[in-house]
Structure 1
Amino acid sequence: MPGANARALEKAASIPADALILDLEDAVAPDAKADARERVAAAAASGAYGHREVTIRVNGPGTAWHADDLRAAAAAGPDAVVVPKVESAATVREVERALEAAGAPNHTAVWAMLETPRAMLDARAVAAAGERLSVLVMGTNDLAKELHAEHVPGRAPLLTGLSLALLAARESGKVILDGVFNDVKDLAGFEAECVQGRQLGFDGKTLIHPAQVAPCNEVFAPSEAQIERSRRIIEAFDEATREGRGVVTVDGRMIENLHVEDARRILALAEAVAGR
């Protein structure tokens, strides 16, 4: 949500998203940065957004606004600070030190945006850096620009970078969010990209328009069929364990511990969605 737009910040309280990024970076013109910073800090501290995680995207390291943004965000105490253009573990540590020096509460996490070839190649080190870092966010627009790549269905030019970041996130136990889809009128294309992101392993997707929220929620939430199958897998495995059987099948397929772990993950996600 653009931080300079008071109406957008107000509307955000009614959008059925899991998290909000109140933006001080790309969505705010240079001469509006200071006013937007004050408005966003007040909004993040207001408690007006209910169950939604509230984050503030600051301007990137090396910009004239970065340090002031971090201080304001620390004082506001959002759920997280989203940092663009993160390319190294050192940047994560510098951001964490700045937040701590400014008195950021312990609950304020860091979300690191990976947007460049260097970020993809160093994603493992970035993902393992810092105690506040909890989420990796793909900056696919900037990555495509840096690669001189085209935006095409299926995102073939970006798949190597996306995969490297996913590997880093899963190794380090971090949440990872897919990048944005630019054409807000192409809901079919958007949904197809959501499906691709889910299939690749992303935990969710960053969005740029309220119309994208409902289809995204539907794609990334477990389906009724997945929920029912997960329950049957757990029940069959538990029954086999009680009976001392070493072989378990569900729908004609062999079931192992890894399938049970994934079934438990799906049910936990379904319960979290239902709770929202």
Structure 2
Amino acid sequence: MLQKSLTTPSDVIIYDLEDSVPPSEADKTRARNNLANFLYDTTSRPSPERIAVRLNAVNTPFFQKDISQALKVPSIRTFVLPKVNSLDDLNSVSHEILSHCNFSGTKPIDSIRLVASIESARAILNLKDIAGWRSKHGSLLGGQLSGLLFAAEDYCADTSVIRTSSRRELLYTRSQIAITAKAFGLEAIDMVCVNYKDLDYLREECIDGRQLGFTGKQAIHPTQVDTIQSTFVPSAREILRAAKILHQMKKAHSSQKGAIGLAVEDGPTEMIDAPMIKQAENIIRVAQAAGLAIPEQTD
């Protein structure tokens, strides 16, 4: 399975030490050692920017050994923390990281990224505090999280919510996670689509997630990656519209105008002003980061 991970084109590969490994010390130890040996092999491992490790939760007997061994591997820089319910969980994680780094000096503190997995009703109630967490240890991790991730199946198990294909029952929770992440400048990673063979449904769920404000989505199977990556970037039509807005507003501002009317293909003329400029700038920024072509605009 570790070797198969090298063939996926996903932006990040999450190596799981939690649910995919049986809950025995022998199995957890074997998984840690296998992963460490695999990632020490510089000839085959993914680049550090694509590596993340999902640890066992802080209240399990496996957490301390998970994080201690992972911190010894230089290429592991991102940790996905399951079952984050409160600030106490994050403070426990930061304490373990700082203690290990101070003792061993194996990894620069500022190279570590933490992603909190939101999996329970309690986590939703504490979401603002979790997203706004600052380490008690000052400079650790820049003092905050880098992202929120929604674990829908665990959340449904905790809350007795019944997941359906409409996703209606998760709308409030997903919206809360995406909005809170944006409020604190964090990445917002949407839930897994469990219907991994139905790519049409996956695309629908991706569009839904992007419309809610999520910046990415978890994949549970390699066949999902292409659909997710192609959906979580602006379409050619969105990019063209954004490029037109920025070009026309630049002309308007040079003429001391604060708003313009923009003719939209197959639609009415839209009134464009400052908020829509910001939206257009965001679209162009994401398109450029994804290496997509930006059509040049001329008078």
Q: Which residue of 1 aligns with 2:9?
A: 16
Q: Separation in 1 of the partners of 2:196 and 2:121? A: 26
- Equivalent in the alignment of 1:58: 55
Note the C-alpha offset of 1:12.
1.6
1:247-258 equivalences in 2 (<5 Å): 247-251=259-263, 252-258=269-275
Residue of structure 1 in register with 2:153 after alignment = 141
Structure 1 residues not aligned, in runs of 5+ = 1-7
1:52 CA displacement = 4.9
What is the CA-CA distance between 1:93 and the residue it aligns to? Answer: 2.1
Quick one: distance in 2 between partners of 1:94 and 1:73?
16
Moved more, 173-182 or 157-166: 157-166
In the alignment, what sits opposite 2:94? 96
Structure 2 unaligned spans of 5+: 102-106, 135-142, 264-268, 293-299
Kindly report which structure 2 residues correspond to 1:239-250, keeping only aligned pairs within 5 A, or say none: 239-250=251-262
Aligned partners of 1:18, 1:46: CA distance in 2, in Å? 20
C-alpha separation in 1, matches of 2:248 and 2:88: 48
Contact 2:58 2:92 in 1 (8 A): no
- SS of corresponding position for 1:176: strand
Read off the aligned partner of 2:124 and give its amino acid letter: M
Deviation for aligned residue 1:14: 2.1
Matched residue type, 2:27: A
Paired residue for 1:267, among 254, 277, 284? 284
Provide TM-score, normalisation by structure 1. Answer: 0.92
RMSD: 1.7
- Farther-moved stretch of structure 1 (70-79 vs 204-213): 70-79
Structure 1 position 96, deviation (Å): 1.6
Q: TM-score, normalised by structure 2?
A: 0.85
Q: How far apart are 1:41 and its partner, in Å?
A: 2.8
1:170 is paired with a residue whose SS is helix
Maintained 8 Å contact 1:124/1:165? no
CA 1:269 to 1:45, structure 2 compared with 1: closer, same or farther past 3 Å?
farther
Structure with max Cα Rg = 2
The 5 Å alignment of 1:8-157 reads 8-30=1-23, 31-46=26-41, 48-50=45-47, 52-77=49-74, 78-103=76-101, 104-105=107-108, 106-130=110-134, 131-157=143-169
Aligned length: 268
Contact 1:154 1:193 in 2 (8 A): no
In 2, Cα distance between the equivalents of 1:141 and 1:13?
Answer: 26
Percent identity reads 29
